[in-house]
Structure 1
């Protein structure tokens, strides 16, 4: 397999994590950096050893770029993804792909028309942990009806910057709410439930003075499945999760892993016994990159770790969660 030559669109903090991870991928190498700020792009490229820099248009016009990683602010993801796909590049896009489900659909339709991979970067979906968890739920080791409780939150400190700016897609739901929602979507799918059948049935939360949701809770339901999800940018919340069924539970002490290492284990409690499932950890950013590289090699538009049906369901649920809060 030829090496996938990557460009990072948006040389920020998350882009730095991706740049540092690429040497640990099997198929990828960092080749270019794009930014609206030439000096910032050049400094980032020098730090991480990328040979070419330029504006977004300049980098997308190059023939020596095979794939791009989009790590700009939320409101710019969709336009950059469409531009990259139209320019013939595979795309790995930081979550959320967009601030609305309609914008996500525009991106997916473009990827379909271009016949190129597009993958949403929910990093916890890539690697052995997610595969083992999906298999456990699919095997009905703990059987339904299933209930998931999951959260993700942190205290941002001062209410300034991108997280608290509604004009660039700030707020807890778009920043971290996708983590528990994506877990709900994946577990429902593993249990044989169509992700499209999931709906938001109740919402509560706090909207701050800047107009963004700062803390939010939602209930998501389908037949034989419910999820209570919570997120915050003003309060530290557990990053654990608990799946309960009629005969036991699955405890995820670390449901989402970190930026350097994926989660390593979960506990199945059923039949009066506890069983610890341990898996190897991987670099989640490197795994995301390799998923795109393999899709390119095999001429697929989707990655099985994060199929478009999951992205569609997540985007719709986030839309409804946000719409349900009083602003």
Structure 2
């Protein structure tokens, strides 16, 4: 196996990239090496804060031989173009979710990764660590019977109704920003349960705010496994999820965790009895970086915790859900 140390560059020195830089310090195999931006000043400020070289353009980063992988932390509408350019330059890519606002652009990214023979990973931090593994084990079936339903929501009140989240030209709205999390989890659970990962749509609903989906809900059917999900950027929603089985349920008190810690607790209920399971936490952004490092070292294009088939399925659902919301 090749050396696992990965020299990372960040493209786009925004808030989520700052969190990634912090997570990278907790990784086992990654080191922040460079920062690229359309603004030299912003790149230099980020580099000074996190200990890396700064460059004023993305092309300068992509032309460097001492960069192995890039983290794309820019706005949704730029993900596809930057990811394709990075892959064509021979870099592995960790792209912040959603990979792109439309299924067509996501397909373009994955085709570029296939042509370039470089790994691509959509950055769903919730896919990594003991909590995610425990959920997959439950979904595979066991003492609780077969999984029948997942209920989950991700929503917050952004406060002011302006900026990126409320800008139609930047693909703002709840569905792409945080609705992608319950969609991706439902797909992961369906796959673990042996169900199809591309669902039928039972319902879509949305509340528009300034031309974007401020809040939305959906019911998806993965065969006989149903997911009822909701999202919002105008209202705080419960972060407790429930995975229901024929003979019990698993309550997930903090299903999404945070950018610094994965969730740590599952509550199993069966026949009137309740059992609390505590699992170790990981730094989830560091864990996803290490997963891509391992793919590079092993010569793989995909990361098993978030395979391309899941990225495609999520992109299909998000595209259709958002189209239904915006054309109501």
Pair in the same fold by TM > 0.5: yes
CA distance in 2, matches of 1:146, 1:50: 48
For the aligned residue pairs, the C-alpha RMSD in angstroms reads: 1.2
1:292 aligns with 2:292: yes
CA distances 1:15-38 after superposition (whole Å, capped 9, x unpaired): 001111212110000000000011
1:135-154 to structure 2, matched below 5 A, reads 135-144=137-146, 146-154=148-156
1:194-233 to structure 2, matched below 5 A, reads 194-196=196-198, 198-208=199-209, 210-233=210-233
1:112 aligns with 114
Judge conservation of contact 1:151–1:230 (CA < 8 Å) in 2: yes
CA distance in 1, matches of 2:141, 2:149: 16
1:263 aligns with 2:263: yes
2:237 aligns with 237
Judge conservation of contact 1:151–1:239 (CA < 8 Å) in 2: yes
1:311 aligns with 311
CA distance in 1, matches of 2:31, 2:292: 13
Unaligned runs of 5+ in 1: none
Unaligned runs of 5+ in 2: none
Q: Which runs of 4+ in 1 moved over 4 A?
A: none
Judge conservation of contact 1:268–1:274 (CA < 8 Å) in 2: yes
CA distance in 1, matches of 2:95, 2:70: 8
1:193 aligns with 195
CA distance in 1, matches of 2:108, 2:181: 22
CA distance in 1, matches of 2:125, 2:97: 9
SS at match of 1:234: coil
Judge conservation of contact 1:163–1:171 (CA < 8 Å) in 2: yes
Deviates more, 1:284-293 or 1:53-62: 53-62
2:27 aligns with 25
Task: For residue 140 of structure 1, report the CA deviation from its aligned partner.
Answer: 2.9
Judge conservation of contact 1:45–1:53 (CA < 8 Å) in 2: no
Judge conservation of contact 2:175–2:216 (CA < 8 Å) in 1: yes
CA distance in 2, matches of 1:192, 1:73: 34
CA distance in 2, matches of 1:135, 1:301: 25
1:162 aligns with 164
1:79-94 to structure 2, matched below 5 A, reads 79-94=81-96
CA distance in 1, matches of 2:115, 2:229: 34
CA distances 1:75-114 after superposition (whole Å, capped 9, x unpaired): 0001000000000000000000100011101101111111
How many equivalent residue pairs? 325
Task: For residue 2 of structure 1, report the CA deviation from its aligned partner.
Answer: 4.2
CA distances 1:303-324 after superposition (whole Å, capped 9, x unpaired): 1111111111111111111122
SS at match of 2:24: helix
SS at match of 2:280: coil
Judge conservation of contact 1:144–1:224 (CA < 8 Å) in 2: no
- Give the TM-score of the pair, scaled to structure 2: 0.96
